[in-house]
């Protein structure tokens, strides 16, 4: 008897059993229309499937952040969904993109240099965790702006397009995010302060 990976047909069958693929059109429609109770119910229904999907694409420590951010994005942008049938694929793509961004950030933080200070995961693990915690504690809309600008190197135009807001609003979010991160470093040592200042 084979105990290896599931056959494609079995994977497909499991996928179809996911709650996110069986969301009631009426519930989804009401949520899109702005019904608060319907939206809360929808997010509660799809969260377990988004978590399972995130565990396939994110590092274990990033799963919860990715899911929380995905739920926030779904909450904010559900009204722009053009087809009810595309909801599941759209939601999964949001999670996948967030996981990809978080993976890139983790790689950069593993061997990063901020304001002349080299941050190595093996040499300065505590400082690195301070940086990660400070960024993770930001509200989702500020965190996404900071990651896109300062860690992924996107332009203002690219960030505004990704977030669905104007360039001025994107820059305002970035400025506020940077200020909030620096405030988190008010009582830590000079190395961590240098890292915070290095977040442009």
Whether residue 177 is predicted with pLDDT greater than 80 in this model: the reply is yes
What is the pLDDT at residue 95?
Answer: 92
Burial class (CB in 10 A: 0-12, 13-18, 19+), 159: buried
Assign 11 a pLDDT band (cuts: 50, 70, 90). Answer: very low
Judge whether 121 and 110 are in contact, CB under 8 Å: yes
Taking 80 as the threshold, does the pLDDT of residue 64 lie above it? yes
Domain ranges of the chain: 115-200
DSSP class of residue 7 equals P
Q: Return d(Cα 151, Cα 102) in angstroms, integer.
A: 10
**154 pLDDT higher than 60:** yes
Residue 46 — pLDDT band, cuts 50, 70, 90? very high
Query: Domain 115-200 - what CATH class?
Result: mainly alpha
């Amino acid at each position: 008897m084979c105990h290896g990976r599931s056959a494609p047909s079995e994977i497909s069958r499991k996928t179809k059993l996911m709650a996110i693929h069986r969301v009631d059109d009426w519930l989804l429609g009401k949520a899109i229309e702005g019904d608060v109770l319907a939206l809360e119910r929808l997010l509660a229904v799809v969260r377990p499937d988004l978590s399972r999907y995130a565990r396939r694409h994110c590092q274990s420590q990033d799963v919860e952040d990715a899911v929380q951010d995905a739920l926030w994005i779904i909450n904010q942008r559900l009204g722009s969904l053009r087809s009810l049938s595309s909801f599941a694929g759209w939601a999964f793509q949001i999670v996948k993109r967030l996981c990809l961004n978080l993976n890139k950030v983790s790689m950069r933080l593993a061997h990063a240099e901020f304001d002349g200070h080299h941050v190595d995961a093996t040499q300065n693990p505590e400082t690195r965790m301070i940086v990660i915690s400070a960024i993770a504690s930001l509200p989702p809309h500020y965190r996404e702006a900071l990651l896109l600008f300062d860690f992924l190197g996107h332009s203002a135009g690219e960030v505004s397009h990704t977030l669905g807001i104007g360039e001025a609003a994107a820059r305002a979010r970035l400025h506020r995010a940077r200020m909030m991160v620096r405030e988190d470093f008010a009582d830590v040592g000079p190395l961590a302060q240098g890292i915070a200042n290095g977040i442009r």
